[in-house]
């Protein structure tokens, strides 16, 4: 069974506005989701300084709130986004010093079955990979090679498609699932299976919203946004987990990789920062992760994309649009 586990000195008068901005930016684009958006509207949206906005929001997240204001501010957020605090390891709202700590709150050990979906969220799309392309939402595709970067493991003489170059056995197929993390979801993500991470690729880029509505009208959104792709091997072959950044989510943290720095003030368009974990002092084969192990975290909300190799009889136990949580099963081998 496969399981899947998205101190500042700023004056206080700015802080309530930051929370209001957080709320509004996640809803501002909803009117556009019900109609086809002209190309000029997409271009205008892509021109917004989302990276700067995200860095500012990250700094505001770290500003400690006065104790007497923590409960009313967090209660408003809980009410707005439907946060279930009964699952939190610490339910006392006064415990969380700032918005960042509240967003990244931990769960109670017994809140979910040990290991399943890598994150809370909603399933945007899933299925097998066709023609080396993946659907970010129904009917909108992007290049898998552009998303993950070139594969270096193919030593065969005959040319192969990118999809086929990832497969280790002719009886296997390549599958994918896209999970959207809303602002009210649990913001940490876990290892979905027992696997070994061999390579990390960090792609700096835009930080547009990854809400389902925006994903419908911005082509190759996941390839344009900043993302961190972890690739490696599990018992059935190739496995990857990619954390995709979004507006107000410039910070993507991978717990075992302290060198990773996302949402830098300057970056070169189309650049990629690689780190090979094979040969590191800590592990010759890569970073070994057990199913359910804490892997990383976002600020606010974002998207997790799993791409993995499995036998062709693998069956998803999902529905598009389904709300999922860490600890729920992804699919079965028949």
Over the stretch 35-72, which tens digit does the pLDDT of each residue have?
Answer: 445 566 666 666 666 666 666 766 777 789 899 998 98
Q: How far apart are the first and last CA of the chain?
A: 9
322 found inside a domain: yes
Identity of the highest mean pLDDT range in 152-161, 263-272, 302-311: 302-311
According to DSSP, the residues that pair with 169 across neighbouring strands are: none
292 found inside a domain: yes
Q: Do both 32 and 179 map to the same domain?
A: no
Q: Do both 65 and 118 map to the same domain?
A: no
Q: Do both 146 and 78 map to the same domain?
A: no
Residues 6+ apart with CB under 8 A from 50: 206, 207, 208, 247
103 found inside a domain: yes
**Annotated catalytic, 302?**
yes
pLDDT digits 0-9 by tens, 248-287: 655 788 999 999 988 777 778 778 999 999 876 666 689 9
**Annotated catalytic, 120?**
yes
333 found inside a domain: no
82 found inside a domain: yes
Q: What is the pLDDT of residue 54?
A: 65
Q: Mean pLDDT over residues 216-226, rounded? A: 85
Q: What is the pLDDT of residue 78?
A: 84
Indicate the burial class of 53 (C-beta count within 10 angstroms; 0-12, 13-18, 19 or more): middle
Task: Choose one of 110, 136, 171: the last residue of a domain.
Answer: 110
Q: Do both 135 and 237 map to the same domain?
A: yes
Q: Do both 166 and 25 map to the same domain?
A: no
Which structural domain range is residue 87 located in? Answer: 16-110
According to DSSP, the residues that pair with 282 across neighbouring strands are: none
Q: Do both 235 and 321 map to the same domain?
A: yes
Q: Do both 90 and 167 map to the same domain?
A: no
Catalytic residue among 118, 120, 202, 209: 120
pTM for the whole structure: 0.74
Q: Do both 104 and 117 map to the same domain?
A: no
Catalytic residue among 125, 176, 187, 190: 190
229 found inside a domain: yes
CA-to-CA dists, residue 270 to 42, 147, 203, 224, 275, angstroms: 20, 11, 7, 9, 17
Task: Choose one of 78, 110, 142: the last residue of a domain.
Answer: 110
Q: Do both 244 and 224 map to the same domain?
A: yes
Q: Do both 123 and 85 map to the same domain?
A: no
Taking alpha carbons only, the member of 187, 189, 182, 262 closest to residue 22 is 182
43 found inside a domain: yes
Q: Do both 27 and 133 map to the same domain?
A: no
81 found inside a domain: yes
Total domains, the chain: 2
Q: What is the 3-state secondary structure (H, E, C) of 202-249?
A: EECCECCCCCHHHHHHCCCHHHHECEEEEEEEECCEEEEEEEECECCE
Q: Do both 249 and 126 map to the same domain?
A: yes
């Amino acid at each position: 069974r496969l399981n899947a586990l998205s101190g500042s000195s700023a004056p206080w008068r700015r802080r309530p506005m930051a929370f209001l901005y957080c709320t509004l930016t996640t809803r501002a684009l909803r009117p556009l989701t019900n109609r086809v958006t002209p190309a000029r509207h997409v271009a205008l949206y892509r021109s917004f300084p989302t990276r700067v906005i995200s860095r500012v929001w990250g700094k505001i997240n770290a500003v400690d709130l006065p104790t007497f204001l923590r409960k009313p501010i967090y209660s408003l957020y809980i009410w707005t986004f439907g946060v279930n605090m009964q699952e939190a390891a610490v339910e006392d709202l006064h415990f969380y010093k700032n918005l960042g700590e509240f967003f990244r709150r931990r769960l109670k050990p017994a809140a979910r079955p040990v290991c399943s979906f890598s994150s809370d969220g909603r399933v945007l799309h899933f299925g097998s990979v066709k023609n080396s392309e993946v659907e970010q939402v129904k009917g909108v595709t992007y290049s898998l090679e552009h998303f993950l970067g070139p594969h270096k493991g193919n030593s065969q003489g005959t040319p192969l498609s990118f999809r086929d170059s990832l497969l280790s056995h002719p009886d296997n197929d390549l599958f994918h699932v896209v999970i959207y993390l809303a602002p009210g979801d649990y913001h940490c993500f876990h290892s979905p299976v027992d696997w070994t991470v061999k390579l990390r690729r960090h792609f700096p880029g835009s930080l547009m919203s990854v809400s389902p509505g925006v994903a419908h009208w911005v082509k190759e959104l996941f390839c344009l946004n900043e993302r961190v792709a972890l690739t490696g091997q599990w018992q059935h072959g190739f496995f990857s987990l990619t954390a995709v950044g979004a507006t107000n989510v410039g910070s993507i943290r991978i717990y075992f990789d302290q060198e990773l720095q996302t949402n830098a003030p300057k970056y070169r368009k189309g650049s990629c920062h690689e780190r090979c974990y094979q040969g590191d002092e800590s592990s010759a084969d890569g970073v070994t992760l057990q199913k359910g192990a804490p892997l990383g975290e976002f600020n606010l909300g974002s998207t997790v994309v799993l791409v993995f190799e499995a036998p062709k009889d693998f069956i998803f136990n999902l529905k598009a649009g389904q709300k999922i949580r860490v600890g729920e099963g992804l699919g079965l081998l028949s």
